[in-house]
Amino acid sequence: MTNLSDYPKQTFVRTFDIEAISIPIVYNKYGDHDPNGMLYVLKKDSERISRKARECFEMQPPQPYKEVQPLVIRANEGDEIRVNFYNSLGRRASLHVQGLRYDVLTSDGANVGYNPDTTTEDLISYVWYAEK
């Protein structure tokens, strides 16, 4: 007799297209800001967020834009997460994850020791596993 718990888990693959963009980041309604801010966004939202953030930055005083906030992606236990990382910063960048399993040679997001450089000037794909 086979128990239901003996069946192999089905792996669900979640794919995200993420882009690093340069935008001015306004911190509060008084206009405190960083004109050289950097933000990770879903690629499909990149143009809109960039345009709106710049419009708000041109106000007097500069105003924050509500979508300029930390990017959160979600997965369930057992999922495989694939991230296509697009870098529009004009310098090398990457993503690094904590608490998930990944191949240090391909998906670490670092340039360390003798491991291959997993930062990019344009596009790189990472694969992570949500085991717990």
Residue 37 pLDDT greater than 80, yes or no: yes
Sign of the CA dihedral running 98, 104, 109, 113: positive
Confidence at residue 132, expressed as pLDDT on a 0 to 100 scale: 82
| Res. 7 pLDDT band, cuts 50 70 90 | low
Residue 1 pLDDT greater than 70, yes or no: no
Which CATH homologous superfamily contains domain 10-129? Cupredoxins -  blue copper proteins (2.60.40.420)
Residue 5 pLDDT greater than 60, yes or no: no
Residue 9 pLDDT greater than 90, yes or no: no
Domain boundaries, the chain: 10-129
Give the residue-averaged pLDDT of 63-86. Answer: 96
Torsion of CA 26, 23, 95, 18, to 10 degrees: 110
Q: Say which residue, 10 or 25, is predicted with more confidence.
A: 25
Of the chain, the percentage scoring pLDDT greater than 90 comes to: 87
pLDDT digits (tens, 9 = 90+) for 83-94: 999 999 999 999
Tell me how far CA of residue 121 lies from CA of 5, 89, 90, 117, in angstroms.
Answer: 44, 8, 7, 11
